[in-house]
Amino acid sequence: MIAEELAKKQKEISIAEFFEKNKHILGYSNPSKSLITCVKEAVDNALDACEEAGILPDIMVQITRVDKNTFRIVVEDNGPGIVKEQIPKIFGKLLYGSRFHAIRQSRGQQGIGISSAVLYAQLTTGKPTIITSKTSPNEEAWKVSVFINTRKNEPEIVEEEQVEWHRPRGTRIELEIQGSYVKERKQSVFEYLKETSVVNPHARITLIDPDGDIYEFERVSEELPEIPKEIKPHPHGIELGTLMAMLRYTKAKDLKGFLKSEFVRVGDKIAGEVLSRAGFSGREDPQQLTRDDAVRLLNAFMETDFLPPPTDCLSPIGESLIMRSLLSEYKPEFAYAVTRKPKVYSGHPFLIEVGIAYGGELRSDDKVILLRFANKIPLLYQQSGCALTKAVESVNWKSYGLQQSRDELPVGPAVILVHLASTNIPYTSESKEAIAAIPEIIDEARLALQEAGRRLKEYVDRKNRLQSKKKKEEVLNRILPLLAKKVCEVLEVEPLDVEKVVARIMGNFHVERVVNQRDGFAEVELSVSNYTRSKKSVKIIEMCRGEVEVNEADGANVREGTITTVSWNLTLEPDQELKLRYRCKEIVNRKPYVEGVEPEILSGGEVMPL
């Protein structure tokens, strides 16, 4: 019979066999992308391991060209290491890991990432992956060579031995793969590591590329992020099949105990409300409930107001660190960041962070640089199909000082960073390249972008006003000296101090130094004038050599050394002027240094150099 013949051909396939024939699903769709994916999976694992162990990550990535299309990838970290018995399973078994059932923010969840890289290596070069790991400075490292048995989805150990290793602890993975290395492109290992360093400012990452060039991405923070805490499912995020499975396998003895022990935000009072709405007493055996009973329970969940899930399961980057990272990597003239309060979609907590950098060394004749991240992982591909991109395109950037065509990324000298942190990132595919268009996520991202846009507009408007002011000041500085000279000649009076006149006209903060030499000393008088419209609190600093005498009534502070500094902390109301006097052997600075005033409105003095 035909049915019997067909039945003989049916057989079970393992998850490893499936991905062996469908590796493109995991991001191994072309040579350059495959190489980046291997590096990404290893680096993500290293970051997670270091953070969970409370160690500031120090990661080295080395890519060596074996031949035209073959590369050796080495990724080393200073993490806690892996016990010898776990090495084969972690690297040689798909869907093996500790995070799949945990509801908290993490880079990896399915236990596929690094083992898929091992599978890709053996598929393309036929060589095993070599893992070296050390858990203590007092022990030798274990070096294990692993294949994946795709029929059984089990690791096969080719070789294992104890070896000496220079690191006190950590893990090293070495893969040989077929791929392509690209250097100067948006989708490249360099760009991936650069973006990774932006959202992981506590990590130091070193890249040694196939040409032997070394790139250092230094950490800009010594502070480790808070470790997200694991939470239980939220009733508003549960689907029927999941609820039925939870009822079947719970250890709770009664239904009320099940609600309180298996869900977050459910106490005695809320559990009573749910049971009342569903028509249960609470004494029922959860394992005996039918599908119809589960439907009644699920409907009661939908009708009950629960508190949102706790947010300590998330680990945001933070506004300050985002700004510091953008300033460090892109050298802009302005940076701002915002972290929104956590929200919920389908019972899953999430939050949006946005950073924006403007000007400086950034190009103004092209579209802005868009950096997309999910749980601190850069998203390099499928930009146009990502919800974060759609959120950026939906904002009217013309209102904030950037050029923009309809429903496109804006044009201008800017970097826009969008980070989604969640216990359940809604990726569009297993390769984790784009975020699905969840309305709650897009709305939150848009609100964060608009807030950052408003701050950008304030800066651009202020910059334009100051530029216009400077142009007027330059014109006055050219014309007034000539005019003053002629007027003084006609009236036969002493020449005027034109710089102070210009400062008054332009509304600047002005400092003037007058020096008279007497008995081998410089007798100095500083005139400090506030011609702005607001009160100013400033610090005036003079740098001298030799003996210094000050007027204590002025509140001068003297710090002696090879170079002696004399400083005054002053507060001046609008149109107020103060006189400061001191004597010294020699003045070092060309003009008085001033702290607390924007350089654009300062005249006669200089901003203190860093």
DSSP-derived secondary structure letter, 553: G
546 torsion bin: left (phi>0), alpha (psi -120 to 50), beta (else): left
Alpha helix segments (H runs only) across 492-591: 498-506
Measured distance CA(415)–CA(361) in Å, rounded: 11
Fill in the amino acid letter for 24.
H
Q: Are residues 175 and 143 located together in one domain of the fold?
A: yes
Q: Are residues 517 and 572 located together in one domain of the fold?
A: yes
Cβ 594 vs Cβ 602: under 8 Å: yes
CATH number, position 528? 2.60.40.2960
Read off the tokens for 386: 């990502």
Residue 468 located in a structural domain: no
Cβ 422 vs Cβ 314: under 8 Å: yes
- The string of DSSP letters for 36-85 reads HHHHHHHHHHHHHHHHHTT---EEEEEEEEEETTEEEEEEEE-S----GG
Whose CA is closest to 502, among 525, 483, 516?
Answer: 483
Q: Are residues 297 and 443 located together in one domain of the fold?
A: no
Q: What is the pLDDT of residues 588-609, one digit of tens each?
A: 888 999 998 888 788 888 887 6
Q: Are residues 417 and 354 located together in one domain of the fold?
A: yes
CATH number, position 354? 3.30.230.10
CATH number, position 21? 3.30.565.10
Fill in the amino acid letter for 310.
P
Question: What's CA 169's distance to the chain center, in Å?
Answer: 27
Residue 472 located in a structural domain: no
Q: Are residues 293 and 264 located together in one domain of the fold?
A: yes
What is the share, in percent, of the chain residues with pLDDT greater than 70? 87
Q: Are residues 124 and 265 located together in one domain of the fold?
A: no
Whose CA is closest to 62, among 173, 220, 183, 178?
Answer: 173
Residue 245 located in a structural domain: yes
Domain range for 504 is 498-607
Q: Are residues 416 and 540 located together in one domain of the fold?
A: no
Measured distance CA(25)–CA(435) in Å, rounded: 15
User: 435, 461, 487 — which closes off a domain?
Assistant: 461
Residue 487 located in a structural domain: no
Measured distance CA(324)–CA(312) in Å, rounded: 24
Spell out the residues 6+ positions from residue 503 whose beta carbon is closer than 8 angstroms to its own. Answer: 509, 510, 529, 531, 603, 604
Q: How far is CA 254 from CA 248, 258, 269, 280, 580, in A?
A: 12, 6, 16, 11, 82
Residue 227 located in a structural domain: no
Residue 13: φ, ψ to 5°: -120, 150
Which stretches in the chain have pLDDT values below 70?
1-27, 94-103, 108-112, 466-470, 472-498, 609-610
Q: Are residues 174 and 129 located together in one domain of the fold?
A: yes
561-565 long-range contacts (CB < 8 A, ≥24 apart) are 563/588, 565/541
Q: Are residues 150 and 239 located together in one domain of the fold?
A: no
CATH number, position 277? 1.10.8.50
Q: What is the pLDDT of residues 546-560, one digit of tens each?
A: 889 998 888 899 998
Residue 467 located in a structural domain: no
Domain total of the chain: 4
Read off the tokens for 151: 């029929």
Whose CA is closest to 337, among 382, 373, 380, 390?
Answer: 373
Q: Which H or E run contains 240?
A: helix 240-249
Q: What is the pLDDT of residues 131-147, one digit of tens each?
A: 899 999 988 998 999 88
Q: Are residues 93 and 174 located together in one domain of the fold?
A: yes
Q: Are residues 280 and 427 located together in one domain of the fold?
A: no
Cβ 124 vs Cβ 178: under 8 Å: yes
Residue 229 located in a structural domain: no
Q: Are residues 253 and 357 located together in one domain of the fold?
A: no
Residue 416 located in a structural domain: yes
**For position 570, what pLDDT does the model report?**
93
